[in-house]
Amino acid sequence: MIKNDTWITQMAAQGMISPFEPSLVRSIQPEPAGSSRPVISFGLSSYGYDIRLSPSEFRIFRHIPGTVVDPKNFNPDNLEPTRLYTDVNGSYFILPAHSYGLGVALERLEVPDNITVVCIGKSTYARCGIIANLTPAEAAWRGHLTLEFSNSSSADCRIYANEGVVQLLFLEGEPCEVSYETRRGKYQDQPELVTLARV
């Protein structure tokens, strides 16, 4: 069963999402106080939660002649850190046309042991050609999600930090025998940094 806003709010109070925004935010008041600025929405929705992209790090895959990306022996040189820009519209990273990048969620999750979280793309980015890879956070997973984005368009695209970037859906199931924590999953307790492929 997919969980609703009431349940998400109750679980956030117990530490499931931190920091937690109890409503859907569509504009923010800049410092010092001035007129509000529109943002790509984040926070609580009817049956999900829109998390934000952290400004801490964003990496883009680059081609290194003579190398092949190997998930069993990942070469961090294949990922190039990219600069965080800021203008009147906010802070953002640039994901070049036809490229793939990794960012990290601003919010930290502590998933209950009878819940699996599915991460899906937001329509605002989808309409710009940005595809968020569909990834799960399994029962009893903790940490900051590493987020994967593909720019399928022929134009460079901004991806805004501190604004909504993907939506989380919380799916309840029968209690599992072995949770992600119990099996000591390799991506447990990820920090607010891009976590590379591990075996």
For the stretch 15-24, pLDDT in tens is 999 999 999 9
Q: How many angstroms separate the first and last alpha carbons of the chain? A: 31
Domains annotated for the chain, with CATH where assigned, are 51-172 (2.70.40.10)
Residue 63 pLDDT: 83
Q: What is the pLDDT of residues 26-74, one digit of tens each?
A: 999 876 667 889 999 999 999 999 999 999 999 999 888 888 889 999 8
Rounded CA-CA distance 155/153 in Å is 5
Which residue has tokens 């965080």?
84
Residues contacting 123, CB < 8 A, separation 6+: none
Q: Indicate the DSSP class of residue 21.
A: -
Strands 108-110 and 24-28: unpaired
User: Which tokens is 70 given?
Assistant: 């190997």
CA gap 92, 70 in Å, rounded? 29
**For residue 102, what pLDDT is reported?**
97
Name the one residue in this structure whose structure tokens are 């720019």: 151
Which active-site residues does the annotation give? 148
Output the pLDDT for position 87: 96
In terms of Cα–Cα distance, which of 60, 171, 52, 167 is closest to 121? 167
Residues in the chain predicted with pLDDT less than 70, given as ranges, are 31-33
| Cα torsion through 71, 77, 81, 82, rounded to 10 | -100
